[in-house]
Amino acid sequence: MTMQALIEAFPNHIHESLSIAREQVLSIPNKAYSEIMISGLGGSGIGATIVSNWAAGHASLPVIVNKEYRIPAFVGPNTFFIASSYSGNTEETLQAVHEAHKAGATVVCITSGGKLAELAKEHGWGLRTIPGGNPPRACLGYSLTQLVAIFVQQGWLPSNYIGVLENAANRLKESQAQVSQKAQEIAARLNGTLPVIYAETLSEGIAVRFRQQINENAKMLCWHHIVPEMNHNEMVGWADKHPEILVVSLRNPSDFKRNRLRMDIAEGIFKQREAQTLSIESSSEHPVEQALEHIHLGDWVSLHLARLRGADEMEVHVIDFLKGELSKH
């Protein structure tokens, strides 16, 4: 499939993944867990960051996102460990899940197959199998939805999150043409600039997703930071004029009032430094709707930006080269 077809299929992926969650019932030990750890990288791991943002106001235990080979020393028999690898062969995730199993953690896997699926079957871990064969970044709808389903099953997210997810996917499907048009306009502004993406702390997942899609699809460097943290360090780095930068502020109606004020004041500072600014605000009230709105728009932006730059949105040769070199050692 083309990247455009995969982006258009994002709402369908959510619906399909919900069906998978209903069909592939997980039998999870009923015990008092002390923490939740989700291990995954790149397109397989961004869903973990987003769900951890959502769970911050609901889960009664900490949610830790691991993007490393190693796991913290506190992981043990009371840890609920989720390994997310689209291919099932991500070496960092395989190492981390091996260590988690060795530590006695309860393990659940989200994958399309590969070594991770083999290990899950061998050890009797919980397993959710999603469709494979596409770039992991284009299949966020599958992995993100599985995480939501698991969190709802365990009571770490409210049960209505499933319905909200379904309704949000329906709205995205109905608004594809308008979203693509808006994305074209944003891409035209981003083309030829150095994008800098800011969002408040509980929206960091969508900022990371936006950055990753610009990196991988449009083949552009950019960076992101969060408010209020960046007000205490990165803001001082804006000492010089930067006409090459376009600051993208991702905003939501639910953003904390003081953070909104901080972003307003910061935008004035960026303009004084001759940077361009662009504020993108979601129109929804629920965190799931807000995130999906930003994610889908950002995916379309990255596609149009790739085409403006004459880049192949599907190729990731440098990642393939890196993996090839790693395999020699």
Q: Catalytic residue positions? A: 216, 232, 323
Please count the CA atoms within 13 angstroms of the CA of 254 that sit on its side-chain side. Answer: 16
CA atoms of 264 and 175, how far apart (whole Å): 29
CA atoms of 50 and 42, how far apart (whole Å): 13
Instruction: Quote the DSSP letter at residue 24.
Output: S
Amino acid at 285: E
The answer to whether the CB of 194 falls within 8 A of the CB of 221 is yes
Amino acid at 111: T
The answer to whether the CB of 166 falls within 8 A of the CB of 194 is no
Instruction: Quote the DSSP letter at residue 202.
Output: G
